[in-house]
Structure 1
Amino acid sequence: MPKSRADTGNRVSTVLARQLGGQLLGFREAAGLNQAQAAATLSAQAAKVAKMEHGWVPFRDPDVIALCQAYGVDSPDTVDGLLKLAKLDRERRRAKGWWVTSLTQGSLREYIAMEDVALRLQTWQLALIPGLFQTPEYMRALAVAAVSPDRIDEVERLVDVRLRRQRRLRGDNPLRVHAVIWEAALRQMIGGPRVMRQQLEHLCALADQPNIDVQVLPFRAGVHSCGGGPFNILSFAESGALDVVHMDGLRSTNWVEGAEESAAYTDLFARTCATSLSPYDSLRLIESIAKGMNE
């Protein structure tokens, strides 16, 4: 099977590199330069700039600085943001984390590698408890339903992967998570009453951690703007300028990488937060639903 242009030899297109390349492309076009003119700044061929703009190669700091100067990008904050993004991408490419050998699904490897270096995660879920908050029993119930009978041995591997991901919630520099969950996800009987009650109790315990915020969008809120599907916003800087959005479907994974597009999802998430219950009231609702779970 032929390899795509985005994954040939040493050229591997990554989400972070594509985001950085896209920003530099926008600056180049605004400056009225073509790829050959930009490449002359680097004493290179136009092909190098093309590879950079498509995220096929890691970025060297001197190249980023030289291109910014050529494009007239003189804001220290902007240049610093691009350099941080380049550094994150280089670290991401070098990373030999546990997910490299634990996973066969390339799209999931990419997401977990991004999650591993992110500072903050904002997640919206309609039908399920967020993966980072799931108990092993809840995970198994989901995995058994998703895996075909002839691949049932994969269930424990899938559970192990998700449990390892949850390590990011602890430690010296834990991932900060803000989750908004539709009430339906709290009431859907995954694994039966006992499993769901334990899951909801676990969710309440997590909500007490300083790096975790949980809000519930109740049924009574009516029509909401996030009905299109679940999504995750990963942030790699405090400013939000380096955000990417991840949406995982049944057969495909989609990344929203442009600054304008990711900002639209950030705004959508903020509006959903505003119509959801406060963290305190959300916790009270979760506790009430958990108590109502009968064997």
Structure 2
Amino acid sequence: MPTKTERYSPYSRRLHLGDSLRQLRQDQDSSIQQVAKTIGMDRTLLTRIETGQRRVAADVSISIAEHLGIEQHSARWQEFYALARDAAQSGWWEGRAFKGLSPRQALPADLEAGASTIRWYDFSLIPGLLQSPAYLRARHNASVTNDHSLDNPIDVRARERRQQEVFVPGGPRIEVVVEETVVRRVVVPKPAMLEQLEHLLDLIDTNGQVDFRILPVGGELLGVRAPRSPWEIYEFVAGDPPAVMVESLTEDVLLRDHTEVANHERLWRRLHEIALPPDESRKLIARNIEIISKEQ
């Protein structure tokens, strides 16, 4: 695993490496079949390396780069070696203690491991990295998500581990915009909701990594497409291209196309502009704590 000063996402590094190898091949106007035959590799394996779907030893990736014209020990060779080395690593989410972990927990854990900034939008739930223990465990009762993944105790432990890994010195900055209904609508038992809101106040007051903003119902969203689902934008310490994770009820989709990422970044900036600043968001959370406390 990387040290605290060498934060990276193995999956993001594999994607970056695959993009770079594919670009080398295309610059030579060579097909997958031609390159695979030249280096004695199965065509399907080379395809999966180029798409970042297959982890291989660093020397395998370097061998491909050398066959595509990268001179040994040149500055560019060193860049490829760093990519190949990082891409070949595994993370805590793949260890024996988390065997059976769902992809919807494993992939975010991987991306978070190398993120410099995570920008998160949600309209129904508190983002996972900010969930309190009671809210986290009660969430599978929230019919609004129809998400029963937390019935798996390994997924619960993984969510907790993700929080531990993120909230450390040098961890990513987390910028959140949620709809007002996220802090007003009770989607878990009231004691859990109360704990969650108090947890948010604590994060806002004490954690410099978190920028939490509420999008008021009366805010105007003009000139951009309205959000259709929750999503996160990841920027990476290692300089990998940014990515967007779009969530649905049953699966998550990772977007890396430049135009798609740019569209989400533009929407994020607009949402951030019209959301309440942290101090006003804090006041709204505090008012809802008073309301729920009186109801109890």
> Normalised by the size of structure 1, how large is the TM-score?
0.74
SS of residue paired to 2:89? helix
Gaps of 5+ in 2: 1-9
Partner of 1:110: 107
Inter-partner Cα distance in structure 1 for 2:33 and 2:154: 48
SS of residue paired to 1:245? strand
Please give the root-mean-square deviation of Cα atoms over the aligned residues, in Å.
3.7
Inter-partner Cα distance in structure 2 for 1:160 and 1:218: 33
Partner of 1:213: 211
Work out which of the residue numbers 161, 164, 179 in structure 2 matches 1:164. Answer: 161
Distance 1:261 1:83, change over 3 A: farther
Partner of 1:229: 229
Contact 1:22 1:258 (8 Å CA) reproduced = no
Gaps of 5+ in 1: 1-12
Partner of 1:266: 265
Task: Quote the sequence identity (%).
Answer: 22
> Normalised by the size of structure 2, how large is the TM-score?
0.73
Inter-partner Cα distance in structure 2 for 1:152 and 1:51: 28
Inter-partner Cα distance in structure 1 for 2:130 and 2:198: 11
Inter-partner Cα distance in structure 2 for 1:166 and 1:191: 20
Inter-partner Cα distance in structure 2 for 1:174 and 1:231: 20
Alignment of 1:132 with 2:118, yes or no, is: no
SS of residue paired to 1:233? strand
Q: CA shift at 1:221, angstroms? A: 0.7
Deviations 1:242-295 (A, max 9, x none): 222222322222111234432332232222212212222222222233223232
| Count of residue pairs brought into register by the alignment | 272
Alignment of 1:179 with 2:176, yes or no, is: yes
Inter-partner Cα distance in structure 2 for 1:57 and 1:117: 17
Q: CA shift at 1:222, angstroms? A: 3.4
Q: CA shift at 1:155, angstroms? A: 6.2
Inter-partner Cα distance in structure 2 for 1:98 and 1:213: 34
Contact 1:215 1:282 (8 Å CA) reproduced = yes
Q: CA shift at 1:135, angstroms? A: 1.4
Which 10-residue stretch deviates more, 163-172 or 204-213?
Answer: 163-172
SS of residue paired to 1:234? strand
SS of residue paired to 1:113? helix
Distance 1:193 1:64, change over 3 A: same
Inter-partner Cα distance in structure 2 for 1:180 and 1:283: 13
Distance 1:94 1:164, change over 3 A: closer
